[in-house]
Structure 1
Amino acid sequence: MSIETHVESLANKHAEIEETISREEHRPVPDTMKLSQLKKKKLRIKEEMASLMTRH
């Protein structure tokens, strides 16, 4: 897998997580633990994308 393909895949996952976070935040009683986990996962993906882009 090329770096560009991997970054694109990560960007898609990042967008999916962002959508999931948005849906959870708009629920009447959001699950704060779930939100925290999703936000951490989203941050790790963002950091991995940044790392790949600086190496490229």
Structure 2
Amino acid sequence: MGCGRKDDAVGHDYLDSRVHDRVALDEIALYAEVLSAVAVSERELTLDELDNALGLRTPVSR
């Protein structure tokens, strides 16, 4: 999982900046990434898995 983002807004650069809040949209995008990761997991996510879903670290090969 993960949105592949680091510090840019996700998929909404084309929106009129007068009618949206970039921080709020980024928070919603991050929340969606966590929800997606939780939805496909059959157990609680570890902190490492949450970090990965949020794009804070890359997945470790096992």
The structure carrying a bigger helix percent of its residues is 1
Task: Give TM-score, length-normalised by structure 2.
Answer: 0.40
Task: Give TM-score, length-normalised by structure 1.
Answer: 0.44
